[in-house]
Amino acid sequence: MRKRLVYVLLFLLLIATVASANQTELMWVRYTSKKIGVSIVVPSNWDIIEQVPFVFDESLTELTVVIVADVDEGEKYVPNMNIVIEDLDGVEVSALEVAVSVNLLYLLYGSSYGIKDYKNLGIRELTIGEFDASQLTYEITIPNGDQFLRGRQVYIPVGSKYYCLTFTTTTYQWDEYEPIFSEIVNSFVLE
C-alpha cells in the first residue's frame, strides 16, 4: 500500500511539473502587416499597434509598427519592439554601413533627442533568412528616466530602403526578453 502511494504521489508530482512548464511556455502567432509588407512571429499575448505616431519623424508614421510585451501593470518600462522602414531615395547601402552610421548618429546627436549615457555594446553582421543584416546593441538612459535601457537594432537593407527592427527593455529584463526578440527577428520575411 505504501509503495503504491509513493507511485501515485510521484505521478501527481510529474503531472504538476509538466503542467507548470506548459504554463510558462510562450505561444507564438504569425503577424503579417500588409501595410509594411512584413511577416514575423510574436508571442500571442503581446499587443501589436499599427499607426503609431513616430516621435522623431512624422513621415515614418505610416511605416511603423510597434509590438509591446504583456507585463505587470506595475512596471515603469514595458519591453517593446518596433519595425520601421526607412527609404533611402534610391541609394543602396550595406547592412554594416547602416549600423555604423546609426551608431555615429547616436554618439553625435543622441543627446539632442534626450538619449543619455549612450554606450555601444557591439556591431555585428548576420543573416536573417535570405537577407544580409547587421545589428547594433547598446545601452542608454531615457529622457526623464532613471531606467538604464538596453536595446538592439537589426538593419535589413532591401534595395534602396532598409527595415529596422528595434527591441528595447531595461537592463535587468534583458536576459528574459532577448531570446524572444531573437526569435522574432529570425522569423522575419517579406510578404
C-alpha span between 156 and 114 (Å, rounded): 26
Quote the pLDDT of residue 141.
87
What pLDDT digit, counting tens, does each position of 144-180 carry? 667 789 999 999 999 988 999 999 999 989 999 999 9
Nearest-CA neighbor of 156 among 174, 129, 175, 117?
129
- pLDDT at res. 180: 94
**Domain boundary assignment for the chain:** 27-190
Beta-carbon count within 10 A of 190 CB: 13
* Total-model pTM: 0.80
Q: Which three cell numbers stand for residue 75?
A: 512596471
* Diameter over CA atoms, the chain: 80
CB atoms within 10 A of CB 48: 14
Residue 2's alpha-carbon distances to 11, 12, 155, in angstroms, are 14, 15, 62
Q: Which three cell numbers stand for residue 152?
A: 538592439
The pLDDT, as a whole number, for residue 142 is 74
Query: What CA–CA distance (Å, rounded) separates 29 from 75?
Result: 25
**Which residues face 148 on adjacent strands?**
141
pLDDT value at 109 more than 80: yes
143 falls in which pLDDT band (50, 70, 90)? low
Which CATH number among 3.20.20.70, 3.40.50.11440, 3.40.1000.10, 3.10.150.10 corresponds to the domain 27-190? 3.40.1000.10
Which range scores top for mean pLDDT: 2-11, 16-25, 60-69, 110-119? Answer: 110-119
Phi-psi region of 85 (alpha: psi -120 to 50; beta: other; left: phi over 0): beta
pLDDT for 139: 95
Q: Are 157 and 190 in contact (CB under 8 A)?
A: no
**pLDDT, tens digit, for every residue of 24-74?**
578 999 999 888 889 999 999 888 877 665 555 555 545 667 777 776 666
